[in-house]
Amino acid sequence: MPDVTLLTLQAMKQKGEKIAMLTAYDATFARAACQAGVEVLLVGDSLGMVLQGHDSTLPVTAADMAYHTAAVKRGNLGALIVSDLSFMSYATLEQTFATCGMLMQAGAHMVKLEGAGWLAEPIRLLAERGVPVCAHLGLTPQLVNVFGGFRVQGRGEAQARQLRADAMALEQAGAAMLLLECVPSELAAEIAQSVKIPVIGIGAGAATDGQVLVLHDMLGLSLSGRVPKFVRNFMDGQGSIQGALGAFVSAVRDGSFPAAEHGFSA
Ligand code: KIV
């Protein structure tokens, strides 16, 4: 049992305390992020891009995710570990159960699924079987080929209405957390207010209940040389990686990250 549980995160939301979450893919960085004070470690399938050098997350396998989850577990010091279900590893219910079994047995405390309203059924069945789910909405990178690129989602009234409805439906189905990626700041604020579960943002403005960044991005490391608008390089002004991780946690807690310039308009 981690020190940080879903109850901890719920209580933080209720008290208006911001949740700090970072990706981690190995034991050493998991330990460093915990020492900096993050509540949640995300074993993200972004590892396909930042560790494996692919141009999307699609080549990542469930076995990759289990391997990195087990490594993160060995470095963890009490954070809640969330692991991504990789592309096509939850296309059917049978696959979903098998993949979640692998990840939870490797050390995850929660899994993250990308999608929209269709996730309601798997989320309900997983929650009943002891697998808490974080639903990832907005720019869901596994749908990059459907979206035609990594593009902001939820712009315009029709898309915004759909996103609000998806968030409500997935909370009702039993999602224990929401992650909103690259959605207009105002819309994210509205969703965070209208659901009871914690909402973590990345490129979703300052009003969500917490923030997540990809570790390599916030350390100023980029294979492609392209830095997303929502990223701040926390190595700036810091003499060490540990200092940068601590600066991220402090900035999330005191609300100075993200600034308005890191968000998107409707
Ligand atoms: O895979 C990942 O690292 C993620 C973050 C972008 C939130 O899902």
Domain harbouring 166, CATH code: 3.20.20.60
How many domains does the chain contain in total? 1
Please report whether residue 184 resides in a domain: yes
What is the whole-number distance in angstroms between the Cα of residue 93 and the centre of ligand 1?
23
Ligand 1 centre to CA of 226 (Å) is 16
N-term to C-term CA, the chain? 40
Q: How far is the CA of 44 from the centre of ligand 1 (A)?
A: 5
Tokens 């907005």 label which residue? 138
Using alpha carbons, select from 196, 264, 177 the residue that is nearest to residue 228. Answer: 264
Average pLDDT per 10 consecutive residues for the chain, totaling 266 residues: 94 98 98 98 98 98 99 98 98 98 98 96 98 98 96 96 98 98 98 98 98 98 94 97 98 98 96
Contact 196, 170 (CB under 8 A): no
What does the pLDDT read at residue 1?
A: 74
Closest-CA residue, ligand 1 atom 8, reads: 44
Q: What is the pLDDT of residues 25-36, one digit of tens each?
A: 999 999 999 999
The H-or-E segment that residue 48 falls in is helix 47-50
Task: Tell me the C-alpha distance between 121 and 55, whole Å.
Answer: 31
User: What is the span of the domain harbouring residue 119?
Assistant: 6-262
Taking CA atoms, 7 is separated from 17, 41, 80, 148, in Å, by: 13, 16, 11, 38
* Predicted pLDDT at 232: 98
Please give the number of the atom of ligand 1 that sits closest to the Cα of 179.
7
pTM comes to 0.98
* Alpha-carbon gap, residue 140 to 192, rounded angstroms: 18
Q: Is 190 assigned a catalytic role?
A: no
The residue annotated as part of the active site, out of 181, 186, 190, 261, is 181
Identity of residue 25? Y
In a domain, 209, yes or no: yes
Task: Say if 1 falls within a structural domain.
Answer: no
Amino acid occupying residue 78:
G
Coil, strand, or helix at residue 133? strand
